[in-house]
C-alpha cells in the first residue's frame, strides 16, 4: 500500500506532554535547579486526561509537563545564571580545596546573581493580577519574618521579609483597609480590601515553634524569594497610590531631639528606623501635602424601578463601610504588658485609634499609662487594685469582636475576670435554615440597632423586649445583681426561651424565606398567617403527581435541615441549663 503508515504515540496528546526527567535533560539542569526554575516562572505540572495515551501505553505514575511550557522555558535568561552559578560553585570548591584564598576572595566578589524583575513583569501584566496573588505572598513573608535567625535560613531573607511585611502593614493602616480579624489556634487571619480586591492572609503567633521535618525547605525558600520580589513591587505601587514616600519615612513632629536620646536604648541607629516603623504607632510621611478637597459626592443615577432596591442596598453598604473605617476614631488605648502588642496595635490604628504601651516594652510608645485622656486600657490580668476612673478596662477580645461586628460592643461582657463570649469567625456566612448560634443572633440584633436594656423593667413588657431580656440573662457577670431578681429572670426567660424555640421551628417549616429573627407570639399577626397556611394547603392538594414528587423531595431536604438545627438548639439548651444549674449550686453554697 502507498503512503506513510501512521504509528501510535506519534501525534496528539502523546506528543504534547513530556516527563519531568526528559524536560530536565532538555534544559540541561539539575533537578533542584529545574524545580526552582519552574517555581519562579510559574510552570506547573499537568495531569493529562488520558494517562495511558500520554505515557505510551504504560500506566506508571509520572509527572508530566506540557511540551510548549518547557519550550518556553528554554528562552529564559536566568537559566544561564543557574549554569554560571554551578560553575562558580565548582571553582569555589576547588579553590577551597587548594587553599587558594586569593582566588576564593576574588570568586566571592564576582558571585553571579540574578534578578527576577522581568519574570514578575511577565507573570503579572497588570497590577490587579499581582493583587490577586498577594494572599500567598503575604502569608509566606509573614511566616518567614517570624523564623529564628539561627542561620538555617539566610538571615537576609528573614530581614527582607520583616521589612516588607512592616511596610505593608503601614500601608493598610494608612489606607484603613482592614475589614475582618479572626484569632485561631493556628494564627491570626486578617482580611483587607485593597483597591477593591479582598485579600486574606494568616500571621503566625510570635511564639517560636519547632520546624516540621516533612516540609521541603528549599522549595519554600524559592517561593519566598519570588514572593519577596513581588511584594516589593506591590508595596511601591501601593505607596504611590496614596502619595506616600517609598521607602517609607515617618512623619517627623517638631520636637524630636529629646526623643532621639531615648531611642538609642532600643536599637542601633541603622536599625532604629525599621524598628520605629515596625512599632506601627506613628504615621507615615507623604510626598505631596494633600490639599483637603471636599468629599466628592457619588453620582446619583435616576432611580429605576428594578434597580431601586439594589441601589439602596449598595448605598447602605457604602455608608456602613465608611462608618466601619472610623470605628475607633477618637479613642486612646493603652496596652498592658501581657497582651499581644503587635496585633492589637495594628488593628487599633487601622480603625483610627491611638495606641501606646509601656516604654520599657518596645520602641515607639507615644504616651504613658498615667495619661488622663486614655479612654480604654487593654488588660488580661485581674484588675489592678486602684483602677483609674474614666477609662474602661477591657480584655483584648473586645477589640477583635468589635472589628468583626462593625460597631463598638458593650464593654460589660469583656471586663477583666469575666467569662468571655466565644470569638466567632467572621469568615463564616450562614445560609438560610442553617443553625445560627445565639451569640450570633445577639450580634445581629445589636447590629440592627436594638440597644440592650437592663434587667429590671423588661419583665412586664414581654413581646417587644424579649431579645433584651435574653441578653440580660446571658450577660450574667460574676459580680451579678440581686439574687431574687436573677432567679425570677431565669424562670421567666426559660419559658420565653421554650416559646421562642417553638416559634422558630414553626416559622422555619412554614415560611418560604425563614428570617433569622426571634419569633413573636403576636395574636394580631396570627390570623393572616392562618389564612396563608390554608391557601398553601390548597395549592399542594391541587398539584400534579410529578410536581408533588418534586415538592416532597424539596420539603424533605428542608425539614431535615430544620431537624438538625433543632437538635443543635436542644443541645445548646441542655448545655446552658447545665451551666445555670451549676451557678445556682454555687450561689446556694455561697449563701449557706
Is 68 or 318 the residue whose CB approaches other proteins more closely? 68
Query: Exactly one of 25, 50, 68, 323 binds other proteins (CB under 8 A); which one?
Result: 68
CA–CA distance, 181 with 402 (Å, rounded to integer): 10
Q: How far is the CB of 424 from other proteins (least distance, A)?
A: 6
CA–CA distance, 476 with 378 (Å, rounded to integer): 21
**Of 23-42, which residues contact other proteins (CB under 8 A)?**
35, 39, 42
139 binds other proteins (CB under 8 A): yes
Copy the grid coordinates of residue 373: 485622656
Is 112 or 514 the residue whose CB approaches other proteins more closely? 112
- The closest alpha carbon to 133, from 211, 260, 227, belongs to 227
92 binds other proteins (CB under 8 A): no
| Residues 472-511 as x/- pattern, contact with other proteins by CB under 8 A | ----------------------------------------
Query: Exactly one of 10, 100, 122, 464 binds other proteins (CB under 8 A); which one?
Result: 122
Distance from first CA to last CA of the chain, Å, rounded? 110
Q: How far is the CB of 143 from other proteins (least distance, A)?
A: 5
Q: Is 356 helix (H, G, I), strand (E, B) or coil?
A: strand
Whether the upstream peptide bond of residue 384 has omega within 30° of 0, thus cis, is: no
Query: Exactly one of 83, 391, 423, 583 binds other proteins (CB under 8 A); which one?
Result: 423
Cβ-contact 221, 215 below 8 angstroms: no
CA–CA distance, 277 with 168 (Å, rounded to integer): 11
Is 226 or 239 the residue whose CB approaches other proteins more closely? 226
Q: How far is the CB of 95 from other proteins (least distance, A)?
A: 25
In a 10 Å sphere around its CB, with 0-12 CB exposed, 13-18 middle and 19+ buried, how is residue 401 labelled?
Answer: buried
Cβ-contact 219, 35 below 8 angstroms: yes
Q: Give the binding-site size for other proteins (rule: CB under 8 A).
A: 69
Query: Exactly one of 99, 110, 150, 213 binds other proteins (CB under 8 A); which one?
Result: 213
148 binds other proteins (CB under 8 A): no
3-state SS of 29-82 is CCHHHHHHHHHHHCCCCECCCCHHHHCCCCCCCCCEEEHHHHHHHCCCCHHHHH
Q: Is 545 helix (H, G, I), strand (E, B) or coil?
A: helix
Q: How far is the CB of 117 from other proteins (least distance, A)?
A: 8
Q: How far is the CB of 325 from other proteins (least distance, A)?
A: 22
Q: How far is the CB of 75 from other proteins (least distance, A)?
A: 5
Q: How far is the CB of 220 from other proteins (least distance, A)?
A: 7
DSSP secondary-structure letter at 203? E
CA–CA distance, 546 with 281 (Å, rounded to integer): 67
**Of 361-420, which residues contact other proteins (CB under 8 A)?**
397, 420
223 binds other proteins (CB under 8 A): yes
Q: How far is the CB of 423 from other proteins (least distance, A)?
A: 4
3-state SS of 245-304 is CCCCCECCCCCCHHHHHHHCCCCCHHHHHHHHHHCCCCCECECCCCCCCCCCCCCCCCCC
DSSP secondary-structure letter at 209? -
Q: How far is the CB of 321 from other proteins (least distance, A)?
A: 21
Q: How far is the CB of 210 from other proteins (least distance, A)?
A: 8
Is 359 or 580 the residue whose CB approaches other proteins more closely? 580
Residue numbers of the site for other proteins (CB under 8 A)? 35, 39, 42-45, 47, 61-63, 68-69, 72, 75-78, 80, 115, 118, 121-123, 129, 133, 135-136, 139-140, 143, 182-187, 189, 200-202, 204-205, 207, 209-216, 219-220, 223, 397, 420, 422-425, 427-428, 435, 437, 439, 568, 571-572, 575
Amino acid at each position: 500500500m502507498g503512503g506513510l503508515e501512521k504509528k501510535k504515540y506519534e501525534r496528539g496528546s502523546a506528543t504534547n506532554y513530556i516527563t519531568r526527567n526528559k524536560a530536565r535533560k532538555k534544559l540541561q539542569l539539575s533537578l533542584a535547579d529545574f524545580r526552582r526554575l519552574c517555581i519562579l516562572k510559574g510552570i506547573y505540572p499537568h495531569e493529562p486526561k488520558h494517562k495511558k495515551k500520554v505515557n505510551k501505553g504504560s500506566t506508571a505514575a509520572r509527572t508530566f509537563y506540557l511540551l510548549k511550557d518547557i519550550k518556553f522555558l528554554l528562552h529564559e535568561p536566568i537559566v544561564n545564571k543557574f549554569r554560571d552559578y554551578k560553575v562558580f560553585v565548582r571553582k569555589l570548591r576547588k579553590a577551597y580545596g587548594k587553599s587558594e584564598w586569593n582566588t576564593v576572595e576574588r570568586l566571592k566578589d564576582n558571585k553571579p546573581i540574578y534578578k527576577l524583575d522581568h519574570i514578575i513583569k511577565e507573570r503579572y501584566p497588570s497590577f490587579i493580577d499581582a493583587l490577586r496573588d498577594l494572599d500567598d505572598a503575604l502569608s509566606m513573608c509573614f511566616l518567614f519574618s517570624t523564623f529564628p535567625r539561627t542561620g538555617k535560613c539566610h538571615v537576609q531573607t528573614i530581614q527582607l521579609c520583616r521589612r516588607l511585611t512592616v511596610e505593608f502593614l503601614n500601608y493598610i493602616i494608612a489606607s484603613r483597609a482592614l475589614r475582618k480579624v479572626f484569632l485561631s489556634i493556628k494564627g491570626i487571619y486578617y482580611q483587607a480590601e485593597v483597591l477593591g480586591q479582598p485579600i486574606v492572609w494568616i500571621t503566625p503567633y510570635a511564639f517560636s515553634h519547632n520546624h516540621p521535618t516533612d516540609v521541603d525547605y528549599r522549595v519554600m525558600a524559592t517561593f519566598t524569594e519570588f514572593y519577596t520580589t513581588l511584594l516589593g513591587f506591590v508595596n511601591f505601587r501601593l505607596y504611590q497610590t496614596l502619595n506616600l514616600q517609598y521607602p517609607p519615612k515617618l512623619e517627623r513632629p517638631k520636637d524630636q531631639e529629646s526623643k532621639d536620646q531615648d531611642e538609642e536604648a532600643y536599637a542601633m541607629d541603622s536599625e532604629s528606623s525599621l524598628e520605629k516603623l515596625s512599632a506601627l504607632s506613628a504615621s507615615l510621611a507623604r510626598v505631596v501635602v494633600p490639599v483637603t478637597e471636599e468629599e466628592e459626592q457619588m453620582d446619583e443615577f435616576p432611580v429605576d424601578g428594578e434597580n431601586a432596591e439594589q441601589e439602596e442596598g449598595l448605598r447602605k453598604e457604602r455608608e456602613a463601610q465608611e462608618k466601619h473605617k472610623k470605628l475607633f476614631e477618637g479613642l486612646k488605648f493603652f496596652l498592658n504588658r501581657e497582651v499581644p502588642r503587635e496585633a492589637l496595635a495594628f488593628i487599633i490604628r487601622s480603625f483610627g485609634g491611638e495606641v501606646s504601651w509601656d516604654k520599657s516594652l518596645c520602641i515607639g510608645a507615644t504616651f504613658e499609662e498615667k495619661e488622663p485622656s486614655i479612654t480604654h486600657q487593654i488588660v488580661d490580668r485581674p484588675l489592678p487594685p486602684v483602677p483609674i476612673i474614666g477609662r474602661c478596662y477591657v480584655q483584648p477580645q473586645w477589640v477583635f469582636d468589635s472589628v468583626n461586628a462593625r460597631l463598638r460592643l458593650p464593654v460589660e461582657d469583656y471586663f477583666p475576670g469575666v467569662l468571655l463570649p466565644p470569638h466567632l469567625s467572621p469568615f463564616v456566612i450562614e445560609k438560610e435554615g442553617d443553625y445560627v448560634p445565639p451569640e450570633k443572633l445577639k450580634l445581629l440584633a445589636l447590629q440592627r440597632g436594638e440597644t440592650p436594656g437592663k434587667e429590671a423593667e423588661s419583665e412586664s413588657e414581654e413581646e417587644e423586649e424579649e431579645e433584651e431580656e435574653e441578653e440580660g440573662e446571658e450577660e450574667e457577670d460574676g459580680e451579678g445583681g440581686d439574687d431574687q431578681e436573677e432567679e425570677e429572670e431565669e424562670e421567666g426567660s426559660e419559658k420565653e426561651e421554650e416559646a421562642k424555640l417553638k416559634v422558630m421551628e414553626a416559622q422555619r417549616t412554614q415560611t418560604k424565606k425563614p428570617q433569622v429573627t426571634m419569633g413573636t407570639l403576636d395574636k394580631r399577626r396570627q390570623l393572616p398567617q392562618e389564612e396563608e397556611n390554608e391557601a398553601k394547603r390548597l395549592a399542594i392538594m391541587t398539584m400534579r403527581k410529578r410536581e408533588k414528587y418534586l415538592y416532597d423531595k424539596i420539603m424533605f431536604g428542608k425539614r431535615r435541615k430544620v431537624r438538625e438545627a433543632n437538635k443543635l438548639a436542644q443541645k445548646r439548651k441542655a448545655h446552658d441549663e447545665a451551666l445555670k444549674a451549676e451557678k445556682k449550686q454555687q450561689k446556694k453554697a455561697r449563701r449557706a
